[in-house]
Amino acid sequence: MSTDNFAKTPKPPYYAVIFSSQRRAEEAGYGTTADRMVELAAQQPGYLGVESVRGNDGFGITVSYWQSEEHILAWKRNAEHSLARERGRNEWYEHFELRVARVERAYGGPAIEDKIKE
Amino acid sequence: MSTDNFAKTPKPPYYAVIFSSQRRAEEAGYGTTADRMVELAAQQPGYLGVESVRGNDGFGITVSYWQSEEHILAWKRNAEHSLARERGRNEWYEHFELRVARVERAYGGPAIEDKIKE
């Protein structure tokens, strides 16, 4: 079972930041910075997890989960994160859309626990 | 500019269904059904758009956008969609997480319009 890709979120309500982006071909610094942002986000208060995927055409979706909007705003104000966003805007992304949403209900399947028990 | 991957959503509030899934190797019928569900969803009342990506490891995120929770529930009750979900659960997905969220704020960049004008 590969379940590492899924965020282990609590029962709603909580918040999701849905970040959709189309990358340019420009590579310089992208991978290192992206990895660092994942590491740094995980250290922030209120962080609940992240799910992320990018296709071969350079289009990607990253959803990070947070306890509250206040935690999201604090992460936005993080200095290193702000610099990374500026580079993203200028160098790495052809276009992006960011949406902040309140998760109201959630469910999963087939049950991981049941499958692990087998 | 490849902007077809982005949903052209209105100003918030509106709703997002965040569907994260890990596919199995099983292929039979998956592609046809997935394409059909995208086509069918787009015909539903309250549908605003979709963004979707799957990586080479079989992990994918699809976010569909809707005017209201009632529209999401109506789409869930669609008979053809219900059958497809049942196949997904039994055949195609090792695991999935589905989250329904209310989008409260949103912004994009760099501006597509400005770039097209250049």
Mutation test of the interface with chain A: which of B48, B51, B61, B73, choosing the one with the most A Cβ atoms within 10 A? B61
Q: Which residue has the higher pLDDT, A99 or B114?
A: A99
In this structure, what is the dihedral angle of CA atoms A4, A12, A97, B20, given to the nearest 10 degrees? 40
The closest of B22, B7, B36, B101 to A106, measured between CA atoms, is B101
pLDDT cut 70: percent of chain B above it: 91
B59/A5 CB distance under 8 A: yes
A61/B54 CB distance under 8 A: no
pLDDT of residue A114: 46
Q: How many CA atoms lie within 13 A of B43 on its CB side?
A: 8
- What span, in angstroms and rounded, lies between the C-alpha atoms of B55 and A54? 6
Count the Cβ atoms, other than its own, within 10 Å of residue B35. 10
A95/B109 CB distance under 8 A: yes
- What span, in angstroms and rounded, lies between the C-alpha atoms of B85 and B76? 9
Q: How many CA atoms lie within 13 A of B58 on its CB side?
A: 16
pLDDT of residue B3: 63
Which of A100, A101, A106 is closest, CB to CB, to B97? Answer: A106
pLDDT of residue B1: 47
User: Measuring CA to CA, how many Å separate A100 from each of A17, A72, B110?
Assistant: 5, 9, 18
pLDDT of residue A26: 81
Q: Per-residue pLDDT tens for A15-62? A: 999 999 999 988 889 999 999 999 999 999 999 999 999 999 999 999
Q: Which domains does chain A have, with CATH numbers?
A: 14-117 (3.30.70.100)
Q: Per-residue pLDDT tens for A75-99? A: 999 999 999 999 999 999 999 999 9
Q: Per-residue pLDDT tens for B12-45? A: 999 999 999 999 988 889 999 999 999 999 999 9
Q: How confident is the model at residue A110 (pLDDT cuts 50, 70, 90)?
A: confident
Two tokens, residue A2: 């590969």
- Indicate the average pLDDT of chain B: 91
What is the ipTM score, two decimals? 0.91
A1/B110 CB distance under 8 A: no
A38 contacts: CB under 8 Å, gap ≥ 6: A50, A52
- What span, in angstroms and rounded, lies between the C-alpha atoms of B52 and B61? 6
Q: Whats the size of chain A, residue-wise?
A: 118
Segment B5-14 shows an average pLDDT of: 97
Which of B58, B69, B108 is closest, CB to CB, to A97? Answer: B108
For residue B108, the chain A residue with the least C-alpha distance is A97
Tell me, rounded to whole angstroms, the distance of Cα B113 from its chain centroid: 24
Is the Cβ of A112 closer than 8 Å to some Cβ of chain B? yes
Burial class (CB in 10 A: 0-12, 13-18, 19+), A60: buried
pLDDT of residue A27: 85
